[in-house]
Structure 1
Amino acid sequence: MSKLSFSEHPASVGETYVEHMGVATSFGLSMIAGGLACLVHGILPFAFTSTGSRTIIRLHDRMVANRSRAAQARTGSAVSA
């Protein structure tokens, strides 16, 4: 079993532990809000017609941009998203 590390994964994406905690919390809250909008949309089809999709797209774009920045920081070169 590997040693528990609070900094290994955050470092792999170019963040400190505290930065990663903030980003992950932001992602989680956005996912909860998008999920709640989807639940309401399931009951009231006219409500939140694109909120879930927009949330997924926005989070995906943020994640891709963060990966690109982390790769650039690790290699010291420009990486396009």
Structure 2
Amino acid sequence: MFARLFVDHPRAVNETYPEHMAAAFTVGGRLAAAALKCFIHGLVPGLCKTSGSDAILKLHGEISPRRFDQPTL
């Protein structure tokens, strides 16, 4: 059970647990920043016009190639 939760997936993407955690936190932080920009845009439509969608498209381009070369749990 421990290996399934903490070891198998990072190993499947050729990362250690700390490397995988850092990568996931980085993506999460970037998503949080994109979400904040979307909220700002919702309040003041003239600000952050494409910042949120630009961030999402960039992340998608970085993550999607890795997504299909690993098993799903």
Shift of 1:26: 0.4
Bigger Rg over Cα: 1
2:19 aligned partner: 19
Question: What corresponds to 1:4 in structure 2?
Answer: 2
SS at match of 2:2: coil
* Structure 2, gaps ≥5 residues long: none
Gap runs ≥5 in structure 1: 75-81
| Equivalent pairs, count | 68
What's the CA shift string for 1:23-53, capped at 9, x where partnerless?
1010000010000000010010010001111
TM-score when scaled to structure 2?
Answer: 0.81
Aligned sequence identity (%): 36
